[in-house]
């Protein structure tokens, strides 16, 4: 029997010890009920504690945010240590991984836990990026996000951002785009607030860092509550004259700005997309007070976002706002907020973002207290068909013409050019807010190309001066596999790992000995759809549409044969040695159906049969929606169908 000792009394170490006990029991049933105790003088068994508890050096410059994992064990136990208590939990998971455990996707069904005796392990690593995290997004249920928080931790992701709880859960329980197959389940708004508390309890239990703050701060500052957003969009509520007087003026008129996304039949105006008239001191003061009150009431947060409204080309054009750049207004608000928090003795870090209009650097304003801030680089306009490499030539930045009149950079290089302009005058720590798990992943049904892009983009972080990535995207991105998630997390920890070795290891554990046959199918699917084609970058005649290219016909025609191959593989692997493999082959069968139907739609689309393709898309949504309940833990039906429908309708993903 093993013994587990904690070097100090701490709730995260409690959880780490229980996790170690659980998985050792699963690996070696003869171990029985391993006892856990606090004993800073223990010399045997597993000893869990901070590096300093063992007299070990700590190379982390910021031990709160940087994670050092140290493992030195034999067959009977040993040291599992870290630079902070969260890192000790990471040491437990890394130790288990070195002993053959794998977490292939969220939930118990995704756990590959071998029956074997543990082996001696030595490992020491300072994570190469200190910002490694994910947000809530898409259409998740509460259970799915809870599973994801647990999985996120097992991937050694140190941040979680519980953003948009009302919005994203509301989409799931409304069964967005699938009402014909699943009856909507209305949830009281107060329940979402409770669920956010549940999130926070699970996040803090694991010692993860938390960031929060949303686009809803702007409407809240003029009296529109986040839980009422949908009511305004549907035209069930309308802003008062006083509210309107504080909203941005566009083309001579103030009011709610309509949503630029494909949100359905209701679009009376979205509070979250409506900028304010930031030249009004009262507007800035109200916004600052809303954020300051939130920060003061939530001092468990590690950093809080300062957000203007979502969307773009929507900043106030009134005479007082004039030619002042949105970024100058952002720095004004940041400085005013810093002043308020400083007077209150609150040291919480603040974050503001470089996002659409705000990507263009300020002309006049500068930060009064740079140490208070991180800057979040959010290249939402970029293409996901290329990355920045060591030999990449960064072009001159796109010019800022005037308020609401500028061209968005379509490449990562173009986005980085604007980032470099900020970095000249704002020497603070930067990280990237990315969107691989948002709509980009659905343009690559095989998830092979997006996995490689993910890897390359993480490698580029050091090159562009960013400290890591916070991913904005679905918490259900595992259809039919989750390697793109795995490679993101692993490369953020260790940028020197080998991509091909990681891929082979993941696929072997997910699909067993026949993984190379599955790989042939996945690679074929990614090649058939084509990342450039699906991104609208491979049109044979732009005048006929972004996705007009009859040259794709022979590629897309191959999907029927590939799908048959995948169905045959799934039929031969219905019952596998491990539960994750059984689930994986069942997902593969449904994925083959999905890809075959999708290929039929894009066969019409690429030949210019747009109306027919849209009709086929609507039918596909209704037909495939019957599998939503079966697949919902792995596949974000609402977000996927919305993303694909945008392409088929030849609408821009976002209005740039």
DSSP H helical ranges for 261-411:
281-297, 326-343
What mean pLDDT is reported for the chain?
95
pLDDT at 493 over 50: yes
pLDDT in tens, 349-372: 999 999 999 999 999 999 999 999
Average pLDDT over residues 624-647: 97
- How many other β-carbons are positioned within 10 Å of the β-carbon of residue 310? 24
Rounded to 5°, the CA angle 112-115-116 comes to 120
Mean pLDDT over 434-456 rounds to 98
**What is the structure's pLDDT at 655?**
37
Q: Are 129 and 496 in contact (CB under 8 A)?
A: no
Q: Let me know the angle formed at the C-alpha of 50 by 48 and 54, rounded to the nearest 5 degrees.
A: 85
Task: Read off the pLDDT of residues 576-588 as tens digits, 9 standing for 90 and up.
Answer: 999 999 999 999 9
Predicted local confidence at residue 166, as pLDDT: 84
Range of weakest confidence among 235-249, 569-583, 640-654: 640-654
Element (H, E) at 94: helix 85-98
How far apart, in whole angstroms, are the C-alpha atoms of residue 58 and residue 129? 16
Beta bridge partners of 253: 250
- Dump the DSSP string for 571-613: HHTSS-SSHHHHHHHHHHHHHHHHHHHHHHHHHHHHTT-HHHH
Residue 53 pLDDT > 50, yes or no? yes
DSSP per residue over 371-395, as a string? GGEEEEEE-TT--SS----TTPPPP
- Mean pLDDT calculated for residue range 174-198: 93
Asked if 19 and 92 count as a contact pair (C-beta separation under 8 A), the reply is: yes
For 342, other C-beta atoms within 10 Å of its C-beta total: 13
pLDDT reported for residue 653: 40
Could you give the percent of the chain with pLDDT greater than 90? 92
Is residue 421 within 8 Å of residue 398, measured between CB atoms? Answer: no
Q: Which of 60-69, 250-259, 440-449, 518-527 has the weakest average pLDDT? A: 250-259
Q: 282's torsion region: left (phi>0), alpha (psi -120 to 50) or beta?
A: alpha
* pLDDT > 70 fraction of the chain, expressed in percent and rounded: 98
Residues in the chain, total: 656
For residue 405, is pLDDT > 80?
yes
Q: How far is CA 635 from CA 430, 472, 588, 631, 642, in A?
A: 31, 16, 12, 6, 13
Give the model confidence (pLDDT) of 271-289 as tens digits: 999 999 999 999 999 999 9
Q: What is the pLDDT of residue 292?
A: 97
What local confidence, expressed as pLDDT, does residue 268 receive? 83
Q: How far apart are CA 320 and CA 311, in angstroms?
A: 22
User: Region 190-194: what's the mean pLDDT?
Assistant: 91
Which pLDDT does position 600 carry in this prediction? 98
Pairing of the two strands 349-355 and 303-306: parallel
CA atoms within 13 A on the CB side of 515: 14
Residue 536, φ and ψ in degrees, nearest 5: 75, 25
Decide: residue 418, CB within 10 A, 0-12 exposed, 13-18 middle, 19+ buried: buried
Residue 624 C-beta-side C-alpha neighbours within 13 Å:
24
pLDDT for residue 265: 57
**Containing H/E element for 457?**
helix 448-464
C-alpha angle 125/130/167, rounded to 5°? Answer: 130
Instruction: Kindly tell me if the per-residue pLDDT of 656 is higher than 60.
Output: no
Give the pLDDT confidence score for residue 286 in this predicted structure.
98
Tokens of 565: 């191959």
Per residue in 21-45, pLDDT (tens digit) is 999 999 998 877 899 999 999 999 9
Ramachandran assignment for 47, one of left (phi > 0), alpha (psi -120 to 50 degrees), beta (any other)? beta
Please give the average per-residue pLDDT across 365-383, as a whole number.
97
The reported pLDDT for the residue numbered 107 is 97
Give the mean model confidence (pLDDT) for residues 500-512. 98
How many angstroms from the chain centroid is the CA of residue 13? 27
Q: Which of 458, 499, 507 is nearest to 127 (CA)?
A: 458
What pLDDT is stored for residue 652 in this prediction?
39
Two structure tokens written together for 438: 């948002």
327, pLDDT greater than 80: yes
Cα gap 108→229, rounded to integer Å:
35
Please give the Cα distance from 193 to 165 (Å, whole number).
Answer: 8
Looking only at the bridges linking them, the beta strands covering 102-103 and 111-112 are antiparallel
Q: Domain 4-126, CATH 2.60.40.1930 — does that match?
A: no
Confidence of residue 654 (pLDDT cuts 50, 70, 90): very low
pLDDT in tens, 88-142: 999 999 999 999 999 999 999 999 999 999 999 999 999 999 999 999 999 999 9
DSSP 262-286: ---S--S-BGGG--B-TTSHHHHHH
> At residue 616, does pLDDT exceed 90?
yes
User: Which pLDDT does position 261 carry in this prediction?
Assistant: 53
Question: Is pLDDT of 264 > 80?
Answer: no
Helix (H) or strand (E) holding 146: helix 142-154
SS3 of 355, please? strand
pLDDT given for residue 227 in this prediction = 83
Q: How far apart are CA 462 and CA 518, in angstroms?
A: 34
**In contact, 391 and 334? CB cutoff 8 Å:** no
Domain ranges of the chain: 4-126, 213-226+276-434, 510-648
pLDDT band with cut points at 50, 70 and 90 for residue 226: confident
At 266 the pLDDT is 62
CA distance 117 to 618: 53
| Contact call for residues 212 and 304 (beta carbons, < 8 A) | yes
- Mean pLDDT calculated for residue range 478-506: 98
Helix (H) or strand (E) run with residue 211 in it: strand 209-212
């Amino acid at each position: 029997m093993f013994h587990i000792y904690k070097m100090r009394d701490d709730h995260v170490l409690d959880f780490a010890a229980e996790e170690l006990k659980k998985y050792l029991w699963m690996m070696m049933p003869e171990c029985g009920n391993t006892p856990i105790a606090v004993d800073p003088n223990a010399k045997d068994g597993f000893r869990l504690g901070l590096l300093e508890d063992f007299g070990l050096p700590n190379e982390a410059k910021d031990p709160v945010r940087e994670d050092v994992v140290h493992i030195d064990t034999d067959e009977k136990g040993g040291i599992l240590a870290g630079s902070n208590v969260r890192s000790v939990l990471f040491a437990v998971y890394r130790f288990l991984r070195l002993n053959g455990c794998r977490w292939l996707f969220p939930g118990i069904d995704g756990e590959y836990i071998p029956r074997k005796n543990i082996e001696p392990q030595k490992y020491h690593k300072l994570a190469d990026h200190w910002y490694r995290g994910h947000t809530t997004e898409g259409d998740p249920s509460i259970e799915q996000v809870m599973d994801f928080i647990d999985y996120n931790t097992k991937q050694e992701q140190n941040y979680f951002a519980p953003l948009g709880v009302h919005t994203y859960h509301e989409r799931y329980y409304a069964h967005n785009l699938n009402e014909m197959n699943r009856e909507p389940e209305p949830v009281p708004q107060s329940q979402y607030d409770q669920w956010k508390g549940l999130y926070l309890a699970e996040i803090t239990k694991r010692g993860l860092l938390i960031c929060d703050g949303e686009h809803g701060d702007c409407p809240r500052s003029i009296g529109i509550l986040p839980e009422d957003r949908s009511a305004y969009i549907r035209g069930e509520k309308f802003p008062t004259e006083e509210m309107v007087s504080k909203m941005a003026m566009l083309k001579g008129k103030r009011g709610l700005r309509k949503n630029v996304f494909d949100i359905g039949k209701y679009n009376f105006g979205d509070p979250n997309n409506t900028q304010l008239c930031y030249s009004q001191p009262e507007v800035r003061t109200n916004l600052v007070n809303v954020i300051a009150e939130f920060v003061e009431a939530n001092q468990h947060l590690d950093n809080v976002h300062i957000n203007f409204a979502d969307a773009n080309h929507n900043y106030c054009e009134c005479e007082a706002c004039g030619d002042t750049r949105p970024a100058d207004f952002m720095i004004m608000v940041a400085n005013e907020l810093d002043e308020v928090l400083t007077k209150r003795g609150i040291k919480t870090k603040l974050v503001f973002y470089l996002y659409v209009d705000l990507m263009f650097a300020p002309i006049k304003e500068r930060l009064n207290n740079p140490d208070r801030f991180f800057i979040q680089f959010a290249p939402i306009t970029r293409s996901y068909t290329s990355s920045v490499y060591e030999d990449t030539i960064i072009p001159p930045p796109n010019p800022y013409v005037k308020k609401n009149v500028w061209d968005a950079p379509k490449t990562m290089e173009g986005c980085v050019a604007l980032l470099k302009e900020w970095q000249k005058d704002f020497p603070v720590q930067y990280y990237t807010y990315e969107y691989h798990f948002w709509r980009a992943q659905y343009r690559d049904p095989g998830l092979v190309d997006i996995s490689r892009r993910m890897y390359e983009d993480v490698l580029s972080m050091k090159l562009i001066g960013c400290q890591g990535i916070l991913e904005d995207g679905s918490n259900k991105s595992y259809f039919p596999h989750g390697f793109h998630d795995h490679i993101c997390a692993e490369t953020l920890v260790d940028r020197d790992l080998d991509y091909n070795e990681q891929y082979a290891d993941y696929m072997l554990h997910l699909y067993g000995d026949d993984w190379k046959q599955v790989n042939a199918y996945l690679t074929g699917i990614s090649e058939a759809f084509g990342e450039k084609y699906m991104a609208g970058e491979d049109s044979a005649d732009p005048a006929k549409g972004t996705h007009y290219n009859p040259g794709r016909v022979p590629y897309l025609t191959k999907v029927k044969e590939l799908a048959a191959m995948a169905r045959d593989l799934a039929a031969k692997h219905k019952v596998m040695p491990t539960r994750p493999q059984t689930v994986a082959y069942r997902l593969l069968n449904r994925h083959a159906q999905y890809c075959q139907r999708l290929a039929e739609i894009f066969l019409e689309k690429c030949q210019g049969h747009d109306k027919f393709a849209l009709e086929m898309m609507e039918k596909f949504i209704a037909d495939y929606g019957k599998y939503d309940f079966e697949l919902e833990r792995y596949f974000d039906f609402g977000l996927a169908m919305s993303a694909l429908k945008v392409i088929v309708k030849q609408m821009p993903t976002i209005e740039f």
